[in-house]
Chain A
Amino acid sequence: MFHANPAHGFWVRALVLLAGMAVFQPCLGETLQPQDHAAPPAQVRIALQWIPQSQFAGFYLAQQQGFYAAAGAEVTFVHANARRSSLEHLQDGEAELATVFLTDAMVAAAGAHDSPNAAHPVLIGQLVQRSNLMLLAWKDQGIEHLQDLSGHRISLWTGPFSAAIRTLLAERQIEYEPIPQNATVNLFLHGGVAACAAMEYNEYHRIWQAGVDEDRLTGFLLRDLGFDFPEDGLYARSDWLQHNHALAQRLWQATLAGWEYARAHPEQAVDLVLAEAERARVLTNRPHERWMLEHLLASIFPETAGESPTAGRLSPAAYTATAQALIASGLISEALPLTRFCPDCCAEDGPDEPC
């Protein structure tokens, strides 16, 4: 359980901003400067991957607390849905920035591999440092170990989202019947599949909130099985970024500050998320959003991160591992070099191979 003293909010915010500047300053070659108050704020749309939920608490807080305004931007959010992803919003120019799952972004960016001038998503900052992906299986269908999944139906999200699972199952040579998984876990709850893909911070808890106790389920956390791929990151389109690099960095710092604020004020963060959800007519409840926030915060600020400069950065090693999994699952043939996928990630660490 995450605890924070709200009284320290100001200092936390200040320290995070300073730390962020210290980390990124060498990469950027320019500093975040307070905006000229006379200049009109930039209009920036940020596409968020899904309907309002705690996954985006830091963004809502950054806006509410005026961090984006301080960064010189007037930010509006575009929520993706099942019909239109945040990546599509970004690619189609309906948003300047977007949160995107790393694998999705890598698959999208891979297309630009052979076209140096093609617009592609560029990672500005990596939020979720670890994998929350998991497979959940019914014990009463005989699933105790991964191998038990052989011959069973497994529902998986289509596209790169479930790439790590597909790679894992392929590596373990598990033959299964893939069933496309939609936004709900009802097929799993009806027993229509033996296992389903789940995010630890979302579907897993949804299933628990449907009255299914842990002892009825077998869970396989991908990060425990060698597939600890980073997840959500903040992306911009490469062509937009060329002209707005400083703005993008300031917004990224503001976003991180928003997440720090959420870490210090989790209940305020949940309140804000619930208000956003209510406005968007999204049906949710406080315990679920609290659960999601706790897990997101643990993923954004891993315990090992502490004073480590890796918070907010994509590890080149993780990028390489993810690329290998995507290639193994056939989703891409070759990953975009990290220097193009995330130019700022390489600015500091020359020795890393991908850079």
Chain B
Amino acid sequence: MNPAERMNPADLGIGPVPAKARLRNRLLVSTVGIAGLILCGLLLWNYLSFREHLTEEAQVRARFLADGAADRIDATLSGLQSLVDGMALSLSATSLDLTLEQMRTLQREALHQQPGLYGTTFAWLPERKPPDWGALAPFSYRDGDRLAYHDLAHDGLDYLDEDWFALPRFLGRAVWTEPYIHYTGKRMVTYSVPVWLASPDGPLLAGVVTSDIELDWLDRLLADLPLGEQGYALLISRNGVYISHPTDTIAMRESVFSLAEARGDPGLRQVGQSMLSGDPGMRPWIGWATGEKSWLAWGRLSTTGWTSAVVISQTQLDREIARLTQLQALAGGGGLILLFLAVGWIARSITRPITALSEAAPGIAAGNLDAPLPAPKGQDEIARLTTIFHAMRDRLKQYIADLEETTAARERINGELRIASDIQMDLVPKTFPAFPERNDMDLCAIIQPAREVGGDFYDFMLLDEEHVFLAIADVSGKGVPAALFMAVARSLLRAEAKIDRNPGRMLERLNDTLAEHNDACMFVTLFCAVVCLSDGTVTYANAGHNPPLWLRTTGSIEWIDSPTGIAAGPMAGLQYDTGHIQLAAGDGLLLYTDGVNEATDPDNQLFGNERLLERLHASQSLSCRETLDALLADILAHTGEAEQFDDITMMMFRRLS
């Protein structure tokens, strides 16, 4: 195919592949997109399940830490409580039968044994004090590293109004006082136990034994609890007063209820009441300082009846979860980018040959078979497809080369056929009028060859001054064989016509000659006649040819359809009868081949005998040439644009007076 015949790929409707339709991009988008969605789903699931899990854990931890704090404080206080309970029991059991010095010794011993004890006293109800005691309320306490002593009644009996004395006195049981600020500035609490003396009227209160305990260690204990960044612990007294609170200005000054009042928050008051109810509990909480969602859990101290509480920030947990999720998202995002690059690389390696193929294929489709195709790599489907493309391209090239060769050969043959056709045409006489010197006859013939060389011919010659020989024939088949067979048949007929003027015998001899070495079984239909110009006698014979028409001066037109025989050539020994008719002056004969009456229009409608007869009727006054021209024009009008498959051959003879 020459380059001029190549097409632009765009003319084939093959444009460049849109970016979004590219295999690589689709692969990337779908793989990374799906992986991204899965990642997002996993992150969400992870976040939610983590949050639920950690929320539950936060609650468990809050409860555990609140109880744990209560237990740890109880562990310390219960030791001191037991000490004082033991002292009270001993004093009671011995009916307080001891001297002041012995009491002070007992107190010093207690202080030695219990480092957590700040001071201890035994305060008499004044009326019970034995006369030999020099003090009403001996108090031993720590003063730095040494132990000190003081009679609390030294300045009067005001101690009787103190809670540490009045509460056990009037409640008749051991009491932990409300925590207070000692004059040393330290937070303290006093545990007071009444000491009873037996009497006939029942037990009589003799006095109260106490222990004073510093509480600053509570802050350290609570601060050491693992409560997270925004978490904190607190301790509240039986009256709801904060004993320990992370905010200094709150501890020992505010109670849950004063804060509730200050904030106008009845809910907080209810929470405080729940916390003082004695039952452990937990509830969602909003951190005061931070405004963060939290969990508040509390437990009760079995010794003092105080409440330890912890606040664990849910928001902080959420932040940690969010941070964790962010880290996961970052890692996932990094993974996604790696996946993107990896998939991109893989997709590129997969689609590169496809892309190269798809870029090269339009060139091939457009006819550029020399366009480079990618070399197949590996053994995968793409390599196979590429190999197939290579083979296809090579086969196509081969085919086109063959086609060019075949076409060239056919062109050459066609050229030769055209020459053969020209020779064939040269064989038939084409000069009219054929016998200008004679006025006793009018003769004209036309041969309109088809596109392909055919086998029609006509012939005429003067046998002598009175006899003229007319013949028309149609050789079977087309092309060179038909042309050659026609040439042979014409030459033989001419020779036979000169030997014997009987048309029947002429055809028999011709047939026999043609049948010899006619392996191809070619044949020829042929009509020949000898006209005696002087009297109008016509002898004729017909070898399977279309019956000629006898155009009488009377206006009638007759078919000369007998005698007739079969076409000449296939087999030897055929007989052809000779017919006779008598032409009057002005009568004419029309000899024609089947290219006339079987001429077809684009709708495959035949020209037909009827139309032939009509045309002839209309042309009776015309000369032979005019008649044939009119007839040919009519036939061509009939066929129109339809291809002419057969030669149109006509010869008309008219006997003139």
A286 at the binding interface (Cβ < 8 Å): yes
**Pick the contact of B238 from A180, A182, A189, A288 — CB < 8 Å?**
A189
A156 to B158: give the CA distance in the assembly, Å.
16
B256 at the binding interface (Cβ < 8 Å): yes
A187 at the binding interface (Cβ < 8 Å): yes
Contact B257–A211 (Cβ < 8 Å): yes
Contact B261–A209 (Cβ < 8 Å): yes
Contact B258–A288 (Cβ < 8 Å): yes
- Say how far A83's CB is from chain B's closest CB, in angstroms: 5
A37 at the binding interface (Cβ < 8 Å): no
A211 to B255: give the CA distance in the assembly, Å.
9
Q: Mark A151-179, 1 if CB is under 8 A from B, else 0.
A: 00100000000000000000000000001
**Pick the contact of A211 from B156, B163, B167, B273 — CB < 8 Å?**
B273
Q: Mark A278-299, 1 if CB is under 8 A from B, else 0.
A: 0001011111100000000000
A208 to B253: give the CA distance in the assembly, Å.
15
B238 proximity list for chain A (CB < 8 A): 189, 210
B254 proximity list for chain A (CB < 8 A): 285
Residue of B nearest to A190 (CB): B171
A182 to B157: give the CA distance in the assembly, Å.
12
**Pick the contact of B167 from A187, A283, A284 — CB < 8 Å?**
A187
A193 to B167: give the CA distance in the assembly, Å.
10
A189 to B252: give the CA distance in the assembly, Å.
18
Q: Mark B233-265, 1 if CB is under 8 A from A, else 0.
A: 000001110000000000011111110011000
B155 at the binding interface (Cβ < 8 Å): yes
B160 at the binding interface (Cβ < 8 Å): yes
A46 to B598: give the CA distance in the assembly, Å.
153
A210 proximity list for chain B (CB < 8 A): 238-240, 255, 257
Chain-A contact segment, one of B175-183, B374-382, B621-629: B175-183
Size band of the B side of the interface?
20 to 34
A210 to B272: give the CA distance in the assembly, Å.
9
A244 at the binding interface (Cβ < 8 Å): no
Contact A153–B170 (Cβ < 8 Å): yes
A184 to B164: give the CA distance in the assembly, Å.
11
User: Which secondary structure characterizes the binding site on chain A?
Assistant: loop
Contact A211–B181 (Cβ < 8 Å): no
Contact B161–A180 (Cβ < 8 Å): yes
Contact A187–B171 (Cβ < 8 Å): yes
A312 to B496: give the CA distance in the assembly, Å.
176
B158 proximity list for chain A (CB < 8 A): 82-83
Contact A281–B181 (Cβ < 8 Å): yes
Contact A186 to B181, CB < 8 A, known contacts A211-B257, A211-B269, A285-B255? no
A192 at the binding interface (Cβ < 8 Å): yes
A283 proximity list for chain B (CB < 8 A): 180-181, 252-253
A83 to B152: give the CA distance in the assembly, Å.
13
A27 to B598: give the CA distance in the assembly, Å.
161
Contact A192 to B171, CB < 8 A, known contacts A83-B155, A182-B162, A186-B178? yes
Contact A187 to B181, CB < 8 A, known contacts A83-B156, A211-B272, A286-B262? no
A187 to B168: give the CA distance in the assembly, Å.
9
Contact A285–B262 (Cβ < 8 Å): yes
B166 at the binding interface (Cβ < 8 Å): yes
Contact A285 to B170, CB < 8 A, known contacts A83-B155, A83-B156? no
Contact A186–B163 (Cβ < 8 Å): yes
- Count residues on chain A whose CB falls below 8 Å from chain B CBs: 26
A186 to B262: give the CA distance in the assembly, Å.
23
A281 to B187: give the CA distance in the assembly, Å.
12
B591 at the binding interface (Cβ < 8 Å): no
A183 at the binding interface (Cβ < 8 Å): yes
Contact B276–A211 (Cβ < 8 Å): yes
- Say how far A164's CB is from chain B's closest CB, in angstroms: 21
A281 proximity list for chain B (CB < 8 A): 181, 185
A192 to B192: give the CA distance in the assembly, Å.
15
Residue of B nearest to A281 (CB): B181
Contact A187–B269 (Cβ < 8 Å): no
Q: Mark B259-291, 1 if CB is under 8 A from A, else 0.
A: 001100000010011001000000000000000
A153 to B178: give the CA distance in the assembly, Å.
22
Q: Mark A181-209, 1 if CB is under 8 A from B, else 0.
A: 01110110110110000000000000011
Contact A287–B170 (Cβ < 8 Å): no
Contact A182 to B161, CB < 8 A, known contacts A190-B175, A210-B239? yes
Residue of A nearest to B185 (CB): A281
Contact B170–A179 (Cβ < 8 Å): yes
Residue of B nearest to A288 (CB): B258
A208 proximity list for chain B (CB < 8 A): 257
Contact A193–B170 (Cβ < 8 Å): yes
A274 to B178: give the CA distance in the assembly, Å.
21
- B224-240 contacts to A, CB under 8 A, are 238-240
Contact A287–B239 (Cβ < 8 Å): no
B239 proximity list for chain A (CB < 8 A): 186, 189, 209-211
A192 to B171: give the CA distance in the assembly, Å.
5
B181 proximity list for chain A (CB < 8 A): 281, 283
A183 to B181: give the CA distance in the assembly, Å.
15
A252 to B276: give the CA distance in the assembly, Å.
46
B256 proximity list for chain A (CB < 8 A): 211
A193 to B170: give the CA distance in the assembly, Å.
8
**Pick the contact of B161 from A82, A189, A211 — CB < 8 Å?**
A82
Residue of B nearest to A179 (CB): B170
Contact A184–B253 (Cβ < 8 Å): no
Contact A209–B258 (Cβ < 8 Å): yes
A153 proximity list for chain B (CB < 8 A): 170
A36 to B636: give the CA distance in the assembly, Å.
153
**Pick the contact of B258 from A183, A184, A186, A285 — CB < 8 Å?**
A285
**Pick the contact of A190 from B160, B167, B185, B273 — CB < 8 Å?**
B167
Residue of B nearest to A81 (CB): B158
Q: Which residues of A contact B (CB under 8 A)?
A: 82-83, 153, 179-180, 182-184, 186-187, 189-190, 192-193, 208-211, 213, 281, 283-288
Q: Which residues of B contact A (CB under 8 A)?
A: 155-156, 158, 160-163, 166-167, 170-171, 175, 177-178, 180-181, 185, 238-240, 252-258, 261-262, 269, 272-273, 276
19 of the cross-chain contacts (CB-CB < 8 Å) are A82-B158, A180-B161, A182-B163, A186-B167, A186-B239, A187-B163, A187-B170, A190-B171, A190-B175, A209-B261, A210-B240, A211-B240, A211-B269, A211-B276, A213-B273, A281-B181, A286-B262, A287-B258, A287-B262
18 new A-B pairs (CB below 8 Å) besides A189-B238, A190-B171, A209-B240?
Answer: A83-B155, A83-B158, A180-B160, A184-B178, A186-B239, A187-B167, A187-B170, A189-B239, A190-B167, A190-B175, A192-B171, A210-B255, A211-B240, A283-B252, A284-B253, A286-B258, A287-B258, A287-B262
Shortest beta-carbon contacts, A-B, top 7: A182-B161, A210-B239, A287-B261, A285-B258, A192-B171, A209-B257, A192-B170
